[in-house]
Structures are given as C-alpha cells and as structure tokens.
Structure 1
C-alpha cells in the first residue's frame, strides 16, 4: 500500500487489510448503527413526547420504525437504543459486517497495492496522481464486489424495535430483498458508493503525503522491515487526520447511499444518486445532507486509525 511496501506480496496485503478492517469494525459497531439511523429518512429519532410506531406494511418487506425522541448527541442516541431495544440492537448488522469487512478491506488493500505498482511504472512514482488513480481503482473494485453485503447490513441496522417479537436475521434479510426487489435490490446505493470513491482517493492522497513527511522528519526512522511503538502512533495520527479531512468534504454521499438502500415499501422516494441528492437538498437542506456526521466522525476516525495501524504493523512485521 505504501511506497515502502508496494512491492510486497498480494497475499500479505490481503491478510493485513482483512485483519485490520475486522478489528476496527468490531470495535466501532454501535456507532455504525447510530450513524445509519441518523442518516435515514425512514427511521429517525423524532422530537415527540410519546413513542410512535410507523411501519411499511407491504407484504414481505422489512418494516421500519420511527422511534420516540431525538436525543441530543451520539451517546444519548446510543443510550436510547439500548433502553428501548436492548443491548443487542447496538450490534445490528454486525454479522454481515464481520463477514464483509475482512474481504472488503482485503480486496481494497490488495487492489490498491497492485494498482499502485502499475501506475508507478507509467507515472511519476509515488506522486499524488498515482495515489489518486490507485485509490479510485481500489474503491470501484471493492464497492462493486461487496455492495450486497453492505446493503444487507444497512437494512438490518434500520430494522428498529417493532411491536412483534419477530426479528430479522441476515439470512431472512437476504431472502426478503431478493423476493421483493430481485437481484438489483442488492446493488442499491452502488452509485453513491462510486461517488464515495472521491473521499477514499482524497484520503489516500493526504495519508501518503503525511507518511512521506513522517519519513523525512528527524523524529521518525520508519523502515519497511521494522515497526516500533512510536511508529504505531504516527500511523494512527496520519490515518485519523486524513480521514477527518476527507470525510468532512465528501460526507453527503454517505447519506444518499443510506437513503437509496433503506426500505420504503412501494412508495419509494429515492431512485438515483443525483435525484436523491437534489431531493434531500430541497426538502432538508444542508443539515439533511450532513445528518449523522458527528456520529460518523466519532466512528470512522478511530476505526481508520486502528485499521491502518494494524495493517502497517502486519505488513512490516511480515516483511523478510
């Protein structure tokens, strides 16, 4: 992935990326649930005094609920879910996440590493353009292959507490999507994921630049065959700063992706990326386009720091 390790074997990057992504995803799962709910228009924390339940009643479709009140911050949202739906609800969608994050991250890091080798041979080595093209190729590859997994995860996370005891499992969710929407249903939100490649590309440009500055710094002696504790914190810091900047600039695609994937029954309001973007802008303004941003940042910054530090550590320790 990096200049120092771009020549390492693909298997090395597959395993390192998979482990790093899994560790980070499991640690931040509750924040992912809260963020998805805040992004959605079907389920939200409404500012009402008493609990209200609104469901989509089309046969076989997932039902989505409108929960009682809108807590003031991320952790109040988390507490609200915990109190009204139980602790397990904070981990909705974790099964497909754990099933998907390892192959998704493995695919991404491996594709990035291979693409970077190719682009370095035809463009100025390790230039921002190389990082941009490599990240774009990796992002499109990952999004295309893994979109069905994230579609199922989103539906499970939006499956709030309902009046009946029946709960959807990942398998039941897959069957429901296929029955009601067909194979195309598993690829809802893919256009928004493609738009999100811009965030990933920006992230890698910043991250690679910060790593390059770290190598030049007299305070760091990072090498491709060693890994020290101070290196761990440097990689975590670089990843956190890069993710904060890239996410803040490109966040609206996250909201649009959730809207495209949510279950609206037969009265679907969100159809394509640009139509959805325009609709949210007209109906909810800038605030709607950045719904859940605070929660998202609280989740993705430590997630990214943990994932990249783990990845870099494994790659270097594995190197001969």
Structure 2
C-alpha cells in the first residue's frame, strides 16, 4: 500500500522537497530529444520556406523533398546544423521549463481545476527567456540547412556570419521569433494542460496522456503560427540570398510584405506540412520526456507516504 502511495503522489506540482534542478534537468533532456529526433523534417521545412530557392531546391512536398535531398545531396545533408540545436536546446529548454514551472506556480496554475490563462501566461514567460538564449543557435542552424550552404561546422558558420553581418544577424529575427513563439507556446501550453487534465483527471504519471496531449497541442500551435515561421525563416536566412530586397529585409512587417508580393497568400503557408509533421511528434516527445524526467527525479526525492 505504501508503494502505491509513492507511485500516485501528485508529481505535477513539483513538491516542496524537490529542487528546481529537477525541472531544469528534465527540461534539458526534453529539449535535446525534441529537436534532435525530428531534425531532418525541420531541415525540409526550412528548405520549403526559402523565398528565393535555387532551382535544385524546389520541392512539392515532404516525401518529394526527402527523396530529392537524399538522392542528390546525401542523407547526411538533412542533419546539417544539428549540433547547433543540440548545443542550444539543452540550456534553452532547461531555462524554458524552469521558468514555466515557476511562473505557473506563481500564477496559480497548480491549483485544482483548469487554469488556461495561467498556463498560457507561464508559457509566454518561458518562451521570452528561452528564445533570448536559443535565437543565435537557431540562426546558425537555418543557415546550415539551406541548399548550397558552404559552412563546414557550427563554429565556422558563427564566425563567418559574425564577420560579414555582425551580432545583429543573430538577433534580427528575435522580435519576429517572439511574435511567433509567444502565441505558439501560449496555445501549446494551454492546449496541453487542458487535455492533460481531461485525459488524466487523477494527475498520476501516465505516458500515454503526455504523448497524446503533447502531440495534439504541438500540431495545433504549429499550424496556427506557420505564417510567422515563414517570416522568421526569411529573416534568419536573408544573408544567404542574392536578392537585394531579401538581404535588406529588416523586420516582420517588411517580411510579410515581401512574402505577399512574391508568393501571395499561399506563401504564408509554405512549410505547413513538414512543420506540423515535425511539431506533432517532437512536442509529444518533448512533453513525455520532460514529464518522465520530472516524475523520475521527483520520485527519487520523495519519501513513502505512510498509509493509515
């Protein structure tokens, strides 16, 4: 009976005898797993969103892109730049989930019942903090993902981008990134927390709940914010373009105008398929790894609860 009590304790709210390090470590593992496992699909998404693609990098869909890239450039091309997200994802997601847990508790999100505003607000706080750290790594990643990228590794890319475009290149997309990720994470967290409580009212650790709720939350948020992601890709890869207007594009409004002028409304949906395909499993992986890590680390610090 005592063992059952240990397994059923409310791990979701981070018990008082558990340090913040449990959330940070679980978040770091979750971030690395999320980005690394689905990285090839993310590479395809970036290629499909490029506003000025080379003739060799025009794709009709995810399968066509996967086949074409693997055949003409080799399957390793799909993994170019993955070291950048691995380096950045660990600390960024540790900060992300640590901020989320702290903010959710402060906003009353750990109380019984549904607290969508608290979860959404905590998600917004988390993304502001983590994106400030992750944005340069994301820029490097996308520069290495484009067709014909000449960078040999992450450090080579960082050095060359800084030498030719300065520090501004690593943060030119940060306002746009926040404009995208704040609604993305707010919608994702609110959807996840709602579904988690609906599917698992007891609050016990249940992997299938986290996989299902995380996958649906990721798909919904990814689809809703794709237009902003297209603009972010344009800004982060502008230095690789030969088109003067693209190279000099300076913000979200200008990026939206340029996309509309060149590709119409359809341009804002570029990469929707691979973005949803990528985010649905990656978010499910992220939440399931995070919840398992939090459960495991907290369980290790918990004492059996005596039954009377």
Question: In the aligned structure 1, how far is the partner of 2:59 from the partner of 2:116?
Answer: 42
User: 2:264 aligns to what?
Assistant: 285
Counting only pairs closer than 5 Å after superposition, residues 9-158 of structure 1 correspond to structure 2 as: 9-43=19-53, 66-68=54-56, 70-120=58-108, 127-158=115-146
Question: In the aligned structure 1, how far is the partner of 2:39 from the partner of 2:224?
Answer: 23
**2:183 paired with 1:198:** yes
Contact 2:47 2:57 in 1 (8 A): no
Which structure has more helix as a fraction of its residues?
2
CA deviation after TM superposition for structure 1 residue 76, in Å: 1.6
Residues paired across the two proteins, number? 283
Contact 1:84 1:161 in 2 (8 A): no
Unpaired runs of 5+ in structure 1?
Answer: 44-65
Partner SS for 1:4 = helix
TM superposition score normalised by structure 2: 0.85
Contact 1:198 1:250 in 2 (8 A): yes
CA deviation after TM superposition for structure 1 residue 192, in Å: 1.3
User: 1:297 aligns to what?
Assistant: 276
Contact 1:13 1:106 in 2 (8 A): yes
Deviations 1:71-120 (A, max 9, x none): 43202201111111112111011110111111121111011011112222
Question: In the aligned structure 2, how far is the partner of 1:81 from the partner of 1:309?
Answer: 31
User: 2:212 aligns to what?
Assistant: 237
Unpaired runs of 5+ in structure 2?
Answer: 1-9, 303-308
Distance 1:76 1:11, change over 3 A: same
CA deviation after TM superposition for structure 1 residue 10, in Å: 1.6
Question: In the aligned structure 1, how far is the partner of 2:124 from the partner of 2:11?
Answer: 17
Contact 2:143 2:236 in 1 (8 A): yes
- RMSD, aligned CA: 2.3
